[in-house]
Amino acid sequence: MRCKIGALVFLPLIALLLVGRPVSASPFVATTAKSALVMEAHSGQVLGDKELHRKQPIASMVKLMTLLLAVEAVEQGKVQLTDRVTASEEAARMGGSQIFLAPQEVMTFRELLIAVATASANDASVAVAEHVAGSTEAFVSAMNARARALGMENTRYVNPTGLPDGEQYSTAYDQALLLREALRHPLFRELAQIKEHSLRGGKFQLFNTNKLLWWYQGTIAGKTGWTEEAGYCLASAAQRKGLTLVVVVLGCPEPRSHFRESIKLYNWGFSQYQALTLMPEGERVATLPVERGKEDRVDVLIGREVVVVVPRGHDKGITQEAELPHCLVAPVRRGDRVGYWVVKQDGEEKLRVPLVAASEVAETDFYTLWNKVWRRFTKGV
């Protein structure tokens, strides 16, 4: 029988059979921010918002993209954290928040990233951009390309620092998408949680501008921004009891109000929603036959942890099922997506997580394939 790749295999449903009526979340909390949102990081669902697509300046929150591109460059092996970077004239003349780089001063790439993540240093941001892409112009082009790839439809970058420019803007929603992606990278999370750091042999001290690291339990990342045009801005993330929330506030009116408004939104989000961890990453959920492979079967695993976020009290009627073909055709690579694990609530889809092949199955040669066919034939005689 030929393999029907388009067919679906539905595994037995795993239901949360609980009794009771679902409870909806309360209305979104009022905020003085011009625009704001609360997003849950697992699926990217927006839980509450205020003018989430309003275009406006975001000041130094631009550096979230600077950090993401730098972290990805390290992961891809294009640059190393130990690289020694020489500050250019352009980097040294940056104003605003800075570490006062001198022309030709040398720092490691890691030190520059820490300066960007903690002190929001403009000079360090330019030095990072030049080291990754060769020039700020090339780096800005990469920033905009990455934004498009992430679905940030209402964002335009002009520089890697966030210094004022009328053509540079974003939205609360786009910045939440960006921070959610950045959180996937361990190096970014490490940098974002550094509260203080010493440079130049202890002669220069850096303190993280994201005061939620001190003030709000569970904070795991954040990037502030402020200019006269942008007001006080903050994109941050916090985690409690398995629930990770991303909160963005833009255009807050007075000093520290971006922290106050963020805490207000976190308190609302954590009080109204809960995370249900349904399946661990790497759990085996099926075994599929493989045609024309050196092995006849391959295990299928959950590609990432299955977590559903629901209003508190609204944890009834949840079912899970696998969408899989009847079989696969070699070659199959380890980690290949072969289907989806679908979570529904009251029949409505809530989450779709990739299912992946647990191991590689190489395509068989003609001689081995002929032997397999012959064995099957003789067994059937």
pLDDT of residue 11: 47
pLDDT of residue 31: 97
Checking if the pLDDT of 292 tops 80, the result is yes
Lowest mean pLDDT among 228-242, 307-321, 359-373: 359-373
Checking if the pLDDT of 375 tops 80, the result is no
Checking if the pLDDT of 24 tops 90, the result is no
Query: Where residue 16 falls among pLDDT bands split at 50, 70, 90?
Result: very low
Which own/partner contact pairs does 73-76 have at CB distance under 8 Å and 24+ positions apart?
73/132, 74/109, 74/187, 75/185, 75/187
| Contacts (Cβ under 8 Å, ≥6 apart) of 108 | 81, 82, 83, 84, 85
In the chain, the percentage of residues whose pLDDT exceeds 70 is 89
Distance CA 247, CA 258 (A): 10
Residue whose tokens read 């112009």: 137
Could you tell me if 252 and 43 are in contact, meaning their C-beta atoms sit under 8 angstroms apart?
Answer: no
DSSP 61-123: GGHHHHHHHHHHHHHTTSS-TT-EEEPPHHHHT--SS---PPTT-EEEHHHHHHHHHHH--HH
Checking if the pLDDT of 21 tops 80, the result is no
| Contacts (Cβ under 8 Å, ≥6 apart) of 327 | 3, 4, 5, 288, 289, 290, 291
Query: Where residue 368 falls among pLDDT bands split at 50, 70, 90?
Result: low
Which of 284, 305, 296 minimizes the C-alpha distance to 357? 284
Checking if the pLDDT of 380 tops 90, the result is no
The structure tokens listed for 311 are 């209003």
Checking if the pLDDT of 372 tops 70, the result is no
Q: Which residues pair with 197 in a beta bridge?
A: 206
- CATH class held by domain 278-380: mainly beta
Q: What is the pLDDT of residues 253-264, one digit of tens each?
A: 999 999 999 999
Checking if the pLDDT of 379 tops 90, the result is no
Question: What are the catalytic residues?
Answer: 60, 63, 120
Residue whose tokens read 């979340």: 25
138-142, 293-297, 344-348 — most confident range: 138-142
Which of 49, 91, 123, 95 minimizes the C-alpha distance to 227? 95
The sign one gets for the Cα dihedral 201, 204, 210, 214 is: positive
Could you tell me if 222 and 232 are in contact, meaning their C-beta atoms sit under 8 angstroms apart?
Answer: no
In the chain, the percentage of residues whose pLDDT exceeds 90 is 86
CATH number belonging to domain 50-213 = 3.40.710.10
pLDDT of residue 272: 96
| Contacts (Cβ under 8 Å, ≥6 apart) of 246 | 38, 39, 40, 41, 176, 179, 180, 183, 235, 236, 237
Could you tell me if 249 and 261 are in contact, meaning their C-beta atoms sit under 8 angstroms apart?
Answer: yes
pLDDT of residue 5: 45
* Amino acid in position 318: I
pLDDT of residue 19: 29
How many other β-carbons are positioned within 10 Å of the β-carbon of residue 326? 15
Mean pLDDT computed over 170-194:
98
Checking if the pLDDT of 249 tops 60, the result is yes
Q: What is the pLDDT of residues 34-66, one digit of tens each?
A: 999 999 998 899 999 999 999 999 999 999 999
Q: Which residues pair with 332 in a beta bridge?
A: 361
Q: Which has more pLDDT, 362 or 374? A: 362
Q: What is the pLDDT of residues 61-86, one digit of tens each?
A: 999 999 999 999 999 999 999 999 99
How many other β-carbons are positioned within 10 Å of the β-carbon of residue 139? 24
Q: Which has more pLDDT, 246 or 369? A: 246
Query: Where residue 26 falls among pLDDT bands split at 50, 70, 90?
Result: confident
For the chain, give every domain's residue range.
50-213, 278-380
* Amino acid in position 189: R
Q: What is the pLDDT of residues 128-159, one digit of tens each?
A: 999 999 999 999 999 999 999 999 999 999 99
Q: What is the mean pLDDT of the chain?
A: 91
Q: Which residues pair with 353 in a beta bridge?
A: 341
**Which region, left, alpha or beta, applies to residue 220 given φ > 0 means left and ψ of -120 to 50 means alpha?**
alpha
Checking if the pLDDT of 33 tops 60, the result is yes
Mean pLDDT computed over 297-319:
94
